[in-house]
């Protein structure tokens, strides 16, 4: 949660880019082969980095790791710095924000879907995910499809379509590319093992190694849901991913545990 | 808003499907779709989906070879009830001390299991029943 707080703090001081504005004029007036130009460009990109981080944070609860988003947003920022023309009369921020957001949106479209889902449905699903996070905050519980529909001004059928599209959303490979602790909070350190909670479970001996072999985040989610009795929405908020993502990870984890307990999974027919 | 039948009586939906694990995605999609259309909140929809998955996979592994799984959903204003049944050669109830059972009791508001028969030859019917209540404080 510290990430969200720091980005909010940054937001309040986000008018603090004015000192950079003269640099754009200076860069525009510097010849392309002048080494000063690269230096100015560097300063402009570095100076605006909080903007990229802020935009990345706005998209961060949707199943794509924040580091990836920051990287993509930074690329968008560099493009914006390169293409901005100070003599056009617009200020940099109103030019850069849509450019950077466009880059992040494109990343979601290109990198995160495992099967072909029409763009309309992907955007619908992203909108529902964002609305779901917002409404959960306000209501103190997960919203219903009709609440989402009212909030987004969508028909029930559109909400259903958007929710179902989430099942085609592929975040697993991105998760697996991450090292176990790179984006998890210190929760994992404090949580301990679910050992005590497993007392009295009959297949404890075969279950424990299976749980221990789970990736850190999957184990956290399993523990929070089944031993701490947190809801998926509460877990999502705590871990910093979307409720739909928690749902997918839990589903896959339970399946793995079942397969592990049965032994061999049933052959495909 | 989208719930149930026009006269408000509980709606019943039944699915009969080969008791093999590869059919689980069909059953859990149906469960999620029913809960979604009954306007349950997203947590409850996801919980029901996981619970139905768990219950069905438990019975599938216990079913007789070539068995058919019967999945019955009853949607009322208060709750969604789910009963899954499989014919089995054994009269053993799914254990209530297992991790799978803990998963079911965590995810739902009511959980039960029982065995009927045999009424023809030596086939027993093993059932698991679950109920997920509509979250309190929801409008409508």
Q: What is the ipTM of this complex?
A: 0.85
Instruction: Report the C-alpha gap between A255 and A225 in whole angstroms.
Output: 15
pTM, to two decimals? 0.65
Q: Which of A85-99, A165-179, A196-210 has the highest mean pLDDT?
A: A85-99
Predicted confidence at residue A168, as pLDDT, reads 62
- Of A184, A196, A244, A251, nearest to A222 by C-alpha is A251
The mean pLDDT value of chain A amounts to: 77
Cβ-defined contact of A207 to B33 (cutoff 8 Å): no
Whether residue A187 has pLDDT greater than 70: no
Whether residue A237 has pLDDT greater than 70: yes
Lowest mean pLDDT among B49-58, B83-92, B93-102: B93-102
A156: contact with B, CB 8 A cutoff: yes
A258: contact with B, CB 8 A cutoff: yes
Asked whether the bond before B118 is cis by omega within 30 degrees of 0, the reply is yes
Helix pair angle (A243-262, A119-139), 10° resolution: 100
B77: contact with A, CB 8 A cutoff: no
Strand, coil or helix: B116: strand
- Pick from A201, A243, A258: which is nearest to B57 by CB? A258
| A172 against A238, higher pLDDT | A238
Task: Report, in angstroms and rounded to the nearest whole number, the Rg of chain B calculated over CA atoms.
Answer: 15
Q: Which of A184-193, A208-217, B25-34 has the highest mean pLDDT?
A: B25-34
Specify whether the CB–CB gap between A182 and A67 falls below 8 A: yes
Helices (H), strands (E): how many in chain B? 3, 5
What's the rounded mean pLDDT across residues A163-175?
Answer: 58
Lowest mean pLDDT among A4-8, A104-108, A149-153, B98-102: A4-8
Locate the chain B residue with the closest alpha carbon to A144: B41
CA atoms within 13 A on the CB side of A169: 29
Distance of CA A105 to the CA centre of its chain: 12
- Binned at pLDDT 50, 70 and 90, residue A266 comes out as very low
Whether residue A4 has pLDDT greater than 70: no
Strand, coil or helix: B124: strand
Cβ-defined contact of B99 to A261 (cutoff 8 Å): yes
Whether residue A145 has pLDDT greater than 60: yes
What's the rounded mean pLDDT across residues A100-105?
Answer: 83
User: Going edge to edge, which strands form the sheet with B123-133?
Assistant: B11-18, B68-75, B79-88, B123-133, B110-120
Buried b (16+ CB within 10 A) or exposed e, A129-144: bbbbbebbeeeebbbb
Q: Which of A54-58, A255-259, B6-10, B113-117 has the highest mean pLDDT?
A: B113-117
Query: A212 to each of A150, A166, B72, how far by Cα in Å?
Result: 43, 29, 36
Predicted confidence at residue B129, as pLDDT, reads 98
State whether the Cα torsion B97-B100-B103-B109 is positive or negative: negative
Classify residue A168 by its DSSP letter: G
Whether residue B33 has pLDDT greater than 90: yes
- Binned at pLDDT 50, 70 and 90, residue A263 comes out as low
Whether residue A192 has pLDDT greater than 60: no
State the best of A145, A152, A250, A260 to mutate against chain B, taking most chain B CBs within 10 Å: A145
Specify whether the CB–CB gap between A247 and A232 falls below 8 A: yes
Identify the helix (H) or strand (E) that includes residue B86.
strand B79-88
Predicted confidence at residue A175, as pLDDT, reads 34
Instruction: Report the C-alpha gap between B131 and B83 in whole angstroms.
Output: 9
Residues 18-47 of B with CB under 8 A from A: 20-22, 28-29, 33, 36-37, 39-47
Cβ-defined contact of A258 to B100 (cutoff 8 Å): yes
Predicted confidence at residue A114, as pLDDT, reads 54
Lowest mean pLDDT among A60-69, A191-200, A243-252, B65-74: A191-200
| A153 against A116, higher pLDDT | A153
Q: Look up residue A245 and give its two tokens.
A: 């993502």
Specify whether the CB–CB gap between B123 and B89 falls below 8 A: yes
From chain B, the residues in CB contact with A144 under 8 A are 39-42, 138
- Binned at pLDDT 50, 70 and 90, residue A217 comes out as confident
Whether residue A61 has pLDDT greater than 50: yes
Whether residue B114 has pLDDT greater than 90: yes
The values of phi and psi at residue B123, to 5°, are -90, 125
Cβ-defined contact of A254 to B43 (cutoff 8 Å): no
Q: Look up residue A268 and give its two tokens.
A: 């495909």
- Pick from A145, A226, A266: which is nearest to B102 by CB? A226
The mean pLDDT value of chain B amounts to: 89
Classify residue B114 by its DSSP letter: E
The most distant pair of C-alpha atoms in chain A lies apart, rounded to whole Å, by 75
| Cβ-Cβ contacts under 8 Å for B52 (sequence gap 6 or more) | B27, B28, B31, B71, B82, B84, B130
């Amino acid at each position: 949660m510290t990430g969200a707080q720091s980005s909010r703090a940054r937001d309040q001081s986000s008018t603090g880019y004015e000192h950079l504005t003269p640099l754009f004029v200076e860069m525009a007036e510097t010849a392309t082969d002048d080494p000063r130009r690269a230096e100015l460009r560097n300063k402009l990109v570095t100076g605006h980095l909080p903007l990229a981080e802020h935009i990345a944070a706005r998209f961060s609860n949707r199943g794509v790791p924040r580091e990836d988003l920051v990287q993509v947003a930074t690329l968008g920022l560099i493009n914006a710095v390169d293409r901005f023309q100070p003599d056009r009369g617009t200020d940099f921020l109103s030019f850069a924000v849509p450019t950077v957001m466009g880059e992040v949106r494109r990343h979601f479209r290109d990198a995160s879907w495992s099967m072909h889902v029409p763009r309309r449905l992907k955007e619908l699903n992203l909108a529902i995910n964002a609305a779901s996070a917002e409404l959960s905050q306000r209501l103190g519980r997960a919203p219903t499809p009709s609440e989402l529909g009212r909030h987004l001004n969508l028909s029930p059928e559109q909400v259903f379509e958007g929710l179902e599209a989430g099942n085609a959303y592929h975040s697993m490979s991105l998760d697996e590319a991450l090292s176990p602790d790179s984006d998890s909070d210190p929760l994992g350190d404090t949580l301990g093992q679910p050992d005590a909670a497993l007392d009295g479970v009959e297949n404890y001996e075969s279950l424990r190694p299976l749980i221990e072999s789970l990736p850190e985040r999957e184990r956290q989610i399993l523990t929070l849901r089944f031993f701490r009795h947190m809801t998926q929405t509460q877990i999502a908020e705590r871990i910093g991913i979307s409720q739909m993502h928690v749902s997918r990870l839990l589903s896959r984890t339970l399946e793995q545990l079942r397969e592990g307990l049965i032994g061999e999974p049933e052959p495909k027919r | 808003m989208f719930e149930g039948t026009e006269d408000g009586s509980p709606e019943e939906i039944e699915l009969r499907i080969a008791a093999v694990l590869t059919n689980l995605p069909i059953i859990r999609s149906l469960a999620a779709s029913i809960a979604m259309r009954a306007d349950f909140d997203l947590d409850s929809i996801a919980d029901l989906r996981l619970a139905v998955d768990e219950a069905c996979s438990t019975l599938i592994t216990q079913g007789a070879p070539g068995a058919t799984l019967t999945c019955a959903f009853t949607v009322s204003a208060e709750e969604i009830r789910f009963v899954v049944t499989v014919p089995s050669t054994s009269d053993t109830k799914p254990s209530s001390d297992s991790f799978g059972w803990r998963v079911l009791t965590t995810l739902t508001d009511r959980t039960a299991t029982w065995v009927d028969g045999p009424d023809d030859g030596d086939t027993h019917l093993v059932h698991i029943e679950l109920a997920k209540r509509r979250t309190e404080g929801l409008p409508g």
